[in-house]
Structure 1
Amino acid sequence: MAVGTLTTVRVPAPGVIDKRVAGGAMVLAPLAALPLAAFASLLVFLGDLAGLPALASAALALGAVALGSRGLHLDGLADTADGLGASYDRARALDVMRRGDSGPTGVATLVLVLLVQTGALAGAISAGHGIAAAAIAILTGRGVLSLCCARGVPSARPEGLGATVAGSVPRWAAAVVFAVLAGSAVLVFPWWQGLTAIVLGYLAASALLARCVQRLGGVTGDVLGGCVEVSVTGVLLALSL
């Protein structure tokens, strides 16, 4: 479920999708994203080897990740921005998010977030650690899915991906995912920078999650995608120093 949902890799569909399977998929999301992280890091390495400008290498790497995930999280970010910007009425906001087309708020949010991500990754490349930064950011973005689906986080709708995964992850499991990501970052970067990057990525996702629970009543698949993208942005900003 994790691989089939979060990447374009073709795998057999799970025989049963219940809370246990859904929770396991959210916990294993960083592992499912390992091929995307490896490919993005490879593109950064090859771009540097070929003498490409850092901005071009960063754009190629992030574009490859978007392609490898069907643009799922970017679409979720745009829909979430449109929903939050549409109305303070919960039902209307959810209806706007369900339509799937992107309005001015969603488009502007996508452009700004992608600009920040690309610029930040380019900064990390220029600082000499772009390969590791790309990998850590992508894995952390998927790691926050366990936080967003932890016990106690409700679903905004009675159906859909959000309803399937909401509240499916034990809190201790979400904490373990955070600890593993933080430990990995500390091993690769100076401890203060690695830890700051993971914390900033989680804080960014937590802020959006809290806002969506307040405004929408819980999470949806779009909210999860939005949390992935803002987390990636936070990590890349910290690692661009």
Structure 2
Amino acid sequence: MKVLVPVKRVLDYNVKPRVKADGTGVDLANVKMSMNPFDEIAIEEAVRLKEKGVATEVVVVTIGVPKAETDVLLTARAMGADRGILIVTEDEVEPLAVAKLLAKVAEEEQPGLIILGKQAIDDDANQTGQMLAALLGWPQGTFASKVEVTGERVAVTREVDGGLETVDLKLPAIVTTDLRLNEPRYATLPNIMKAKSKPIAKKTVADYGVDVTPRLTTHKVVEPGKRSAGIKVGSVDELVEKLKGMGVAK
């Protein structure tokens, strides 16, 4: 079974975002970019399936600028992916367009399972996996905290408000990963060097005939407001009076 893992190049989670002076977006100039953390979890799960003998090949795909080849695809192959696909575009691609492109890739690659992060940390949209499932007509298991493949079916345990829910899906299927699914392995230097010899195919948006014209308009981006300083009280009675004034205590 082939496993397809879509990944995204995002601002590194250790970097504090800076808003552009004109408020049109986040300033990405001269900052560290890396793989979306939820997508690292997806790659780890796919590689584990291969190590168990369930999967025969792990293919990773990303949509973005040429630098994604080193920032994202190299890391993915060093983690254990067999080959990569880079769909080159300088434009920002919205979730629906991403899902349409991935649907085209899925038609070409014919994977038995697609595993991707539940959301990207730059836009927190949480839409691509669900849209992809709808476009392909495949069953989906979202927010997975456990994935078990048996024969032609996959059991996905997902966290819900009331506890845990397990859904049984017929392959091929879509799975989106949550933080508790696994702990991604570290891409070691020897594996990074080996990964450079693994194949990578470069495509363009035009190759798939998908319209990626933006449908959304960002009016303004602002930084979160700074928290005001707290106050100290001299006694419990004073604390209660303060809380009453705030409408918290009665």
Work out whether the TM-score is over 0.5.
no
Class of the TM-score when normalised by the shorter of the 2 chains: under 0.3
Larger-Rg structure:
2
TM-score, structure 1 length as denominator? Answer: 0.26
More helix by proportion, 1 or 2?
1
**Structure of higher RCO (CA pairs closer than 8 Å, 6+ residues apart):** 1
More strand by proportion, 1 or 2?
2
TM-score, structure 2 length as denominator? Answer: 0.25
